[in-house]
Amino acid sequence: MTDTSKAIPSVMADGTVYSKRKNFTPFSTPPLEAYASIMGEERIERLQRAAQRLQGLKLLELNATAQGGGVAEMLYSAIPFANDLGIEAEWKTISGNKEYFECTKSLHNLLQGMEGTFTPEMEQTYRNHLEVCARDNLIDYNPDVVLVHDPQPLGLTHYLKKPEQTWFWRCHIDIEEEALRANPGLWDFVTDWTEHYDAIIFSAAHYIISRWPLPKFIIPPFIDPLSEKNRELSQGEIEGVLAKYHIDSKIPIIAQVGRFDPWKGLNRTIATYRWVRKRKKCQLILAGGTASDDPEGERVLANIREDTKDEEDIHVLNLSLANRLENWLEVNALQRAANVIMQPSRKEGFGLVITEALWKGKPVIAADVGAIPFQIRDGETGYFFRGPYQAAQIVVHLLEKPKAAETLGERGRQYVKEHFLLPDRIADWFMAINMVMNGAADKRICTDCIISFHPWFKLSKRGKALAGGEIT
């Protein structure tokens, strides 16, 4: 166990999740030496050099939820990790009612290319709620740097930014510039908020909105290899989780883990399993949960349960978030128990569940969308989803050729080790802060600058049919 908390921390009444200033530090990360044993001293020294330039910096990170989703997962490691390096990092969440999160989910979907309109009523709901957050003293001290995650709190800078502060917006979603340009109302709405920031961070090159006159950084997300979700497990720990959910470890397992979300392609995984089942005895695990800022999750879960209710070898698991460490242990065990992991998303900002699976040495079949191609090199570190029948053929091959599956998984693990672990990406973040605060990436003179902390290559746009049949 690498985290001192017993359960998901009770967020303070004001939304604080972690703050040394308030003597509220309910979780931690291992010492740097533990990461050096995985990554090597040279990469840790790079991190320490980047941190040294920011000693004593007051950093506040804001997002919409402490439960569920990749942003919260990263912050549970990033915040205490930064504090251990001499950065005074805090984490706070904004409050919101159902109407507000329905509104921000619509905004999220529209930014990812879904057809529709961000109505004047939605815009008013959004503005009204952020005005309430501002009046309620959301930021109750004077941080040097504020990092705002995703669309939900995007507009806060309009109300709360002080002249001496540096504000970044971190966009984690599969944003579509074409969708923005085709929707002038949405373009004007989002652009009005972003122009108040000093810089924007994207996960991949093809998410960059070129017309926003701000410095733009490319920093991929990361996993913590020593967290409860990613640490090595004993066979006994794995078997204990399988027994809890009445899953037979002797029958091959196909798994998809993640939020119950309409973009995640769960119906594609079910269709693939049904094809595989015609040739081989196997079982399917669909394991996930719902985030407090995502009202669609319960509806998706209900639909999946209805669709699969007569198939006894399909296990639909709504994992509890009441105890964060228990949830992470169960996810870890289910991923390690799987023979093949699928993530055929229709849209995907990055796909940390893929990163997690690759780190565990598992063969992964995922869609060629979003930033997934940063992780999956087709046939080398995993396979692209080209349709249920084609994916089923790959699954059968991997089940029948365990050595080939092992080789594929090991290449995936090595790729994650090289590119997507916590210390490297935190070093990137520190360097981005330093560049903006010290003028190297000043928005007044660097409106078109793009600074990448990942090997640069421009991915083609996603969603097209691939050879071998149309994606469904």
CATH architecture group of domain 235-419: 3-Layer(aba) Sandwich (3.40)
> What pLDDT score does 108 carry?
85
CATH 3.40.50.2000 given to domain 16-222+421-452: yes
Helix (H) or strand (E) holding 166: strand 166-171
CA 427 to chain centre: 18
Q: Mark residue 282 as left, alpha or beta (left: phi above 0; alpha: psi -120 to 50; beta: remaining).
A: beta
> What pLDDT score does 2 carry?
40
Segments of the chain with pLDDT less than 70: 1-9, 291-295, 455-472
> What pLDDT score does 312 carry?
96
226 vs 214, 360, 421, CA distance in Å? 35, 12, 10
Tell me if residue 380 falls in helix, strand or coil. Answer: coil
Same fold, 16-222+421-452 and 235-419: yes
Domain residue ranges of the chain, discontinuous segments joined by +: 16-222+421-452, 235-419
H runs (alpha helix) in 115-226? 120-135, 156-160, 177-181, 184-194
